Homo-oligomer: A and B are copies of this chain.
Amino acid sequence: MRTEIKSVRPERTLLRQTVTDRIKTYIIDNRLAPGAPLPTEAELCEALNASRSSLREAIKTLAALDIVEVRHGSGTFVGRLSLSALVESLTFRGLLSPDDDCRALLDLVEVRQLFEQGMATRIIERLDEEHLVELELAVVQLERSPSGGAAQVQADRTFHRLLMQPLGNQLVSQLTGAFWDVHAIVAPYLGMSSPEEDAEAVAAHRAMLEAARGRDVDAFTAAVAQHYAPVRRRIAATAGA
């Protein structure tokens, strides 16, 4: 029957959880922006009545979600709020089932295609000359870079990012980037693509750009399908093997 002082707090809920919640509400209540410094571990321990171990475990949970960012020797800061956690989740899922790998990757390709085709009308509506110039640059880089090289990969990411930018929807942009990242990480585990497939993909980017330039939604949608067709073929080929 020892009613300790502490026995009040951990009522059926884990201390770690209450600590993470209180750190989150601290950030929200103080309107802290990404990059803003948080109190040191020692200060947080005292403020939240938790040991350093518990506090650190809570912080690691928040760091995994990019809600906070920890820098060794420097301090803890509000995170960038990226979708890095989604990328980690999906890449792990993709790598986990190698036999079923095709399924996870095919699902991903379908979603990527859904985004670009579903937004086709709005993309073409809102693209202005400036966007088109940047897209042209990306396509040229795509066409001139060595096939499969880092420069080409970078240009591909830039192209798809630029496409979504005029929508002004941050979530769409970040999801697009996240899906691209997952694809780029998991894809190498498939077989190498043939030069013909690469050329086809590059041509599809050009077709998408020209369709957008001509404000032709149907042509754009068709070009998107043309873009993902070789990707699907490659995945299917690996799945069959």
Is residue A234 contacting chain B, with contact meaning CB distance below 8 A?
A: no
Within 8 A of B (CB), among A79-119: 81, 83, 85-86, 88-90, 92-93, 95-96, 103-104, 107-108, 110-111, 114-115, 117-119
Within 8 A of B (CB), among A17-76: 24, 27-28, 53, 56-58, 60-67, 72
Query: What residues of chain B lie closer than 8 Å to A27, measured between beta carbons?
Result: 96
Is residue A171 contacting chain B, with contact meaning CB distance below 8 A?
A: yes
Q: Report the bound CA distance from A114 to B86 in whole Å.
A: 19
Give the secondary structure class of A's interface.
helix
A contact residues vs B (CB 8 Å cutoff): 14, 16, 24, 27-28, 53, 56-58, 60-67, 72, 81, 83, 85-86, 88-90, 92-93, 95-96, 103-104, 107-108, 110-111, 114-115, 117-119, 169-172, 175
